[in-house]
Structure 1
Amino acid sequence: MSLSLSFVMFTQFLFLLSLLSLVSAGSFSSVQPLCHDDESFALLQFKESLIVNQSTSTYSKISLWMAQSSDCCTWDGIQCDENTGHVISLDLSNSSLYGSINSSSSLFQLVHLQKLNLSINNFNHSEIPVGVRWLSKLTHLDLSYSGFSGKIPSEILQLSKLVSLNLALNPLKLHKPDLRSIAEKLTNLEELILSEVDISSTVPSILANLSSLTTISLGDCGLHGEFPTRLFQLPNLKSLNVRFNPKLTGRVPEFNRSSPLEVLRLTGANFPGKLPDSMGNLQSLYELDVKSCNFSGPIPSSFANLTKLMYLDLSANIFNRGTLSWVGDLRNLSILNLQYNNFHGRTPQIFMEGCKLGMITLRQNHFEGLLPRSLANCTMLEVLDIGNNHIIDIFPSWLGILPELRVLILQSNRIHGFIGKPETIQRFPKLQVIDVSNNNISGKLPFEYFQIWKAMQSFDASHLTYMQANGLNLKTSSNGWLMAYIYSMTLTNKGIKTKYSRIQDFFVAIDLSGNNFEGEIPIILGNLKALHMLNLSNNVLTGFIPPSLATLTNLESLDLSQNMLVGEIPLQLTELTFLAFLNLSHNNLTGPIPQGKQFLTFQNNSFYANVELCGSPLSKRCANSEDPPTPTSNFEAKQGLEFPFEFGWKVVAMGYGCGFVVGVFVGQVIITRKSGWFIKSFAIGRPTGRRVKWRRCQK
């Protein structure tokens, strides 16, 4: 009995002991090994070889190394292998690093690295060091936008395990090695991103042998010759970018339904011909940018299948033939740019409920008819440009309900009638730029709108950013950069048609020129203190130039030419210290041109064709411009007397002449009739000689 009890107790002890060992083993295995001392030391040496630019607001990942822990595996930007403790990933992107890296850098002691990301730093135009060959386990290398320059070393071809190579946005040259050698040696590549690297070669067809490629980005690389069609049809390709290579030619092939293509950027390359009907098979496509590619013909009707499309730029091509429809559901579209084509018919009827469009640009086509009222569904719309078409409509005051609209351009259409009054004070709450020039709008200037355009009345000059799409971020590479779409527009500013590739957030402009506006310029315009540009030229405006315009202290361009304005130019306008362009020509202005400050910079053409206007820079001098001021008597000076007008020299001369004649005549009469009295009164006490001479004169 005791023996059996002892046996049971012994087996229970063994069970507990084995259980304890299992728990202990599990707990120990879950503990990650510490960073290796040699790698920790190499990282600290690398840190010491660089400078952190303190002037940037960006947090630097290396700043707190060592302060966080003695274990480098816990430091920012570092990842270690869970089993070995070796550093396998170093991500110091956007860390405000400055300096240079050479082949003796301790960085190359981290021989277990698999991922290295030094993008968005400044390595001071140093060359990519040949020591990179020691990092033979690298699968991901990202040196984009980091200030490297010179030739890309051939040693990079020894990194045979590379899956992603990103050297974009550096002043680098890829000559030896070239694209062919990359395709031959780096056969595992999935991402090849070399945009803005000087390649200056053709695109070898062998590149299409890399069937694992998901991303090809060769924008602005100096490519030329025929682009291999097979590259469009790579089975795993999601993003293709060859834009800004004007000497690159090719054609867009047919696509099958299995194509995973998401991004296609061909802008500025030469791809004449039509877009294939099979474009509709690209059902994963969310960005299509084919600006200035010489495409022609109609838009394929299959575009209606592109329901994931967010960004569509077909501008500056020769698309034509009939009405542009989007027969389908394009409610995800954020950017629509169709400007500078040959489209005819009614404007696209794609603005359905739930519309997410932030920018619509249909400029310089042949669209006609009414503006589609369905635009009111686009509650996220910020920029609407339908300039230079054949739209026949009244001013679209109904667009005032759009809460985000900042830029409205309707120039050179057939907009007619009165602008009228806003229905509520909430109309156009964020409007900063309005251009309805060269239409047929009549009536008075819309001073009621001037009262409610709050975004034009003040601004924050410290906010030096650009207008961009709020809901659209475009992925540029595997490093996760997201590039927001920057809005653009075309305006006539300072008398010159100007393309704004970027619109400053605080830019404010009004162009109502080339219409039939009449009446006076409202004084309330002076409340729009954020205005940079004001153009009311070529209307039938009358009355005076209001001095209140002098409160527009940010004004850079003022054009009131070709109206019927009268009176003098307000002297207060000389206080507009930013005014670089002024045109008051072809009016009925009178009086002297104000002198001083900015007015000294304007030429004759600023004031031409105002018959009664005088003074510099015109050749016509004002009447009193060269005469000294008339002196005042001591009494007048002491009493502070001022005359309501001044005597010119002609008036003084006439008065002096008349007084002389009258005096001589009256004197002669008195002398003749009262000679005795005259002699007695004026000759007493005179010398005798004088009296004798006098008498002789009388005889």
Structure 2
Amino acid sequence: MSLIKSFSLLNLSSTMTALDLSGASLQGNFPDEIFRLPNLQALYLYGNSKLTGYLPNSNWSSPLRKLYLSSTNFTGKIPDSIGNLLLLEIVHIEGCSFTGSIPTSIGNLTRATEIVFASNRLTGHLPHHVSGLSYLTTLDLSGNSLQGRVPSWLFTLPSLVSIDLSNNMLNGPIDSFQSPNSLQEVRLQKNEIHGTIPNSIFQLVNLTYLDLTSNNLSGTVKFDMFSKLQSLQYLYLSNNSLLSFTSSSYLDIKYSVPSLQELNLSNCNVNQFPRFLRNSGKLTSLDLSNGRIHGRISKHDSEGWKNLIDLHLSNNFLTHVELHPWQEIKILDLQNNKIQGSILVPPPSTQVFLVSNNKLSGQIPPSICSLSSLQYLSLSHNNLSGTIPSCLGNFSTELIILDLKNNSLEGHIHDTFANASSLRSLDLNSNKLEGPLPRSLANCSVLQVVNVGNNMISDTFPSLQINDLSHNEFTGFLPRTIFVSMEAMKNVEEMEFGPQYIGGFYYKDSVTVAMKGRDVLLYKILIIFRAMDFSSNRFNGEIPEVLGNFKSLKVLNLSHNGLTVTCSNDGLPKAPPSASTDHEEDETTSWFDWKVAKLGFASGVVIGLSIGYILLSIGRPRWLVKMVERDQQKKVRRRRPRDRM
């Protein structure tokens, strides 16, 4: 609603001390006269996203103590005159459209306890020197485009408890400082800060939260330096690829960080388990992934892991897991190591169990079916053999991902998926499985990916977004009635927030697609990507014309079967009737899709892989249409002499 129509603001009493219009769905330009009411002490405007306005350059209400403008559409610069508000205690200007640099006059706000300028468009450097903010407890400048060094005065303000400069473009080193203050929380993640972590950081004895993730920090840090931070609960240093860690040379020195709950050193060149973890009884989350840790997880190394909930050790060089000391673990990620031996089944609390790309051998133990809360199970790319346990399809109604591809599993796939109501992806590719597909998969109503290619499965065509049945022994016709019901192949909504991939937070589906006579692995699959691969089977009969309605289909491979293609005089497949014949664009799109499909039929080469991704981003490129036309014209000309005979 219009601000002026709803409130007679310009006639407000000069004696007013507080005005609260927060969350009032106000629109239009806010009159800056309100800021000049002589007795105004508190102004609340937050939560009015369509409210515009500017801050006055002069003549502020001098007694103003609290100013809340967050989540409005105020713009312009934060004026130097804000430093004239000598009684200002709290200023929250978050999620607006303010530009320019931070005024140096904020040092005049000697009564301020909270300054929040987060999520604006502020640029420039932080003030080089500020000394007057004696009562400041919270400083939040995150989510801007600030540049330059991290100045030392930030760490010496006597009352400062929390500082957040994350998600900026700070690119200098962290200056060393003297007389450390009472800081408890330091957030500097997602900047471009370089240089070493100054030793003075380890003198912040009240520190409970330190996040330096995703910067360009370098140098070597000794693990025993953290022992000075006895109050530290959360430590995040991941994605600093030039940073490395080492232990003290004195092996008999014992040190610990007793309050530590979460530690993330992913992609930081960690080459051993930190010794202080052995006495960290409160540790619940540990991420040492993408490191250089060799050898085994021993009982001695994991003494302090008993209360772990999340453990991420993927992309290291681990060879053995002696035992599982954790009893309440929910997420266990050991992917991409060199772990040998049989599968060591984790506790029943486990929800995510990822051990793909290792050297596991032997059979899948039936005890894995005791994991009744399991949602993600990935044992792919190992040396597992034997049969799939009969309970694996129905031991958990929460199961979302079952990935056993690239092993040596044999026997039948048990028909035990009747209770797998949450199953979204089943990947059994490249094993030695035989027999029919389980009919109980029909009960899996949210199933998106079925990949049983490169097995010895013999069955008739099954009713199933991605279908990979290639390199098996399927027989029979491709029934039109089943294809008619495949709504997922017909139309897919565009992605509003950029690329999204099939899979959850801990797992992304992959698929191997034939391209130019070779198998190409897609490590991630776009949600709007649709593919069918029925190649190298024994299907016969005609290719159903209804496939022409699958406008979202990007890869189709029917090669190496006994199928026929009814062709028109120009050698192209006959396009089925368009679903919207009144629109020329729809007809042309259908014709183009059929041409792409024809290339796959004729040569057994699915170029739809690369074409599909081009189509997703730029539609139907003119150069590609011409290329397909030229290719088909050449084929027609080559056939003409024979046609005359």
TM-score tier (shorter): 0.5 to 0.7
Closer/same/farther in 2, CA of residues 71 and 277 from structure 1, 3 Å limit = closer
Closer/same/farther in 2, CA of residues 518 and 194 from structure 1, 3 Å limit = same
Aligned to 2:311: 312
TM-score normalized by the length of structure 2: 0.67
CA distance in 2, matches of 1:129, 1:196: 20
CA distance in 1, matches of 2:454, 2:365: 24
1:416, CA displacement in angstroms? 1.6
1:289, CA displacement in angstroms? 0.5
Aligned to 2:593: 598
Among all aligned residue pairs of Structure 1 and Structure 2, give the percentage whose two residues are the same amino acid.
Answer: 23
Closer/same/farther in 2, CA of residues 206 and 127 from structure 1, 3 Å limit = closer
Aligned to 1:449: 440
Closer/same/farther in 2, CA of residues 603 and 224 from structure 1, 3 Å limit = farther
- Does 1:249 pair with 2:237? no
Aligned to 1:392: 385
Contact 2:314 2:333 in 1 (8 A): yes
**Cα displacement string for residues 438-480 of structure 1 (whole angstroms, at most 9, x for unaligned residues):** 111111222x123211123xxxxxxxxxxxxxxxxxxxxxxxx
CA distance in 2, matches of 1:110, 1:42: 15
**Cα displacement string for residues 481-508 of structure 1 (whole angstroms, at most 9, x for unaligned residues):** xxxxxxxxxxxxxxxxxxxxxxxxxxx2
Closer/same/farther in 2, CA of residues 568 and 213 from structure 1, 3 Å limit = same
Q: Which amino acid in structure 1 is aligned with residue 599 of structure 2?
A: N
CA distance in 2, matches of 1:371, 1:90: 60
1:131, CA displacement in angstroms? 9.6
Q: How does 1:448-527 map to 2 (within 5 A)?
A: 448-456=439-447, 508-522=448-462, 524-525=463-464
**Cα displacement string for residues 36-57 of structure 1 (whole angstroms, at most 9, x for unaligned residues):** 999984764x96xx995459xx
Closer/same/farther in 2, CA of residues 157 and 311 from structure 1, 3 Å limit = closer
Q: How does 1:228-307 map to 2 (within 5 A)?
A: 228-236=222-230, 237-252=232-247, 256=255, 259-272=258-271, 274-275=272-273, 279-302=277-300, 303=302, 305-307=304-306
Mean Cα displacement is larger for which, 128-137 or 309-318? 128-137
Q: Which amino acid in structure 2 is aligned with residue 521 of structure 1?
A: F
Q: Secondary structure at the match of 1:100?
A: strand
CA distance in 2, matches of 1:39, 1:313: 58
1:152, CA displacement in angstroms? 5.0
- Does 1:171 pair with 2:145? no
1:539, CA displacement in angstroms? 0.9
Aligned to 1:111: 110
Closer/same/farther in 2, CA of residues 107 and 210 from structure 1, 3 Å limit = closer
Aligned to 2:340: 344
Q: Which amino acid in structure 2 is aligned with residue 432 of structure 1?
A: R
- Does 1:216 pair with 2:210? yes
Contact 1:542 1:566 in 2 (8 A): yes
Q: How does 1:17-96 map to 2 (within 5 A)?
A: 41=40, 44=43, 52-54=48-50, 88-90=89-91, 96=95
Q: Secondary structure at the match of 2:178?
A: helix
Q: Secondary structure at the match of 2:546?
A: helix
Match of 1:200 among 172, 189, 194: 194
Q: Secondary structure at the match of 1:554?
A: helix
Q: How does 1:101-180 map to 2 (within 5 A)?
A: 103=102, 111-119=110-118, 121-123=119-121, 125=123, 128=126, 134-144=132-142, 146-152=143-149, 154=151, 156=154, 159-173=157-171, 175=172, 178-180=173-175
The RMSD of aligned alpha carbons is 3.9
**Cα displacement string for residues 509-566 of structure 1 (whole angstroms, at most 9, x for unaligned residues):** 11111111113213x33xxxxx2x1111111112222322243232311111222222
Structure 1: give runs of 5+ residues left out of the alignment: 1-33, 56-69, 78-84, 457-507, 526-530, 628-647, 651-699
- Does 1:440 pair with 2:432? yes
Q: Secondary structure at the match of 2:297?
A: coil
- Does 1:546 pair with 2:479? yes
CA distance in 2, matches of 1:369, 1:153: 54
Q: Secondary structure at the match of 2:115?
A: strand
Q: Which amino acid in structure 1 is aligned with residue 468 of structure 2?
A: N
Mean Cα displacement is larger for which, 589-598 or 153-162? 153-162
1:601, CA displacement in angstroms? 2.9
CA distance in 1, matches of 2:157, 2:406: 58
Q: How does 1:548-567 map to 2 (within 5 A)?
A: 548-555=482-489, 556-567=530-541
Q: Secondary structure at the match of 1:179?
A: coil
Q: How many residues align?
A: 494
Q: Which amino acid in structure 1 is aligned with residue 362 of structure 2?
A: G
Choose 1 or 2 for highest CA Rg: 1
CA distance in 1, matches of 2:363, 2:199: 50
Contact 1:103 1:130 in 2 (8 A): no
CA distance in 2, matches of 1:553, 1:221: 45
**Cα displacement string for residues 310-361 of structure 1 (whole angstroms, at most 9, x for unaligned residues):** 11000000011x45421x3x23212110000011112123224xx1x22111
Aligned to 1:359: 352
CA distance in 2, matches of 1:377, 1:394: 18
Q: Secondary structure at the match of 2:246?
A: coil
TM-score normalized by the length of structure 1: 0.62
CA distance in 2, matches of 1:198, 1:210: 23
Closer/same/farther in 2, CA of residues 128 and 194 from structure 1, 3 Å limit = same
Aligned to 1:691: none
CA distance in 1, matches of 2:222, 2:38: 45
Q: Secondary structure at the match of 1:211?
A: coil
Q: Secondary structure at the match of 1:451?
A: helix
Q: Secondary structure at the match of 1:349?
A: coil
Contact 1:43 1:107 in 2 (8 A): no
Contact 1:287 1:312 in 2 (8 A): yes
Closer/same/farther in 2, CA of residues 621 and 197 from structure 1, 3 Å limit = closer
1:618, CA displacement in angstroms? 7.2
Closer/same/farther in 2, CA of residues 421 and 149 from structure 1, 3 Å limit = same
1:606, CA displacement in angstroms? 5.2
**Cα displacement string for residues 368-417 of structure 1 (whole angstroms, at most 9, x for unaligned residues):** 23324343343332211111112224334423231211111111122221
Contact 2:223 2:275 in 1 (8 A): no
Q: Secondary structure at the match of 1:331?
A: coil
CA distance in 1, matches of 2:110, 2:202: 31
1:87, CA displacement in angstroms? 6.1
Q: Which amino acid in structure 2 is aligned with residue 566 of structure 1?
A: N
Contact 1:39 1:110 in 2 (8 A): no
1:367, CA displacement in angstroms? 1.8
Q: Secondary structure at the match of 1:208?
A: helix
Aligned to 1:376: 369
1:255, CA displacement in angstroms? 5.5
Q: Which amino acid in structure 2 is aligned with residue 543 of structure 1?
A: G
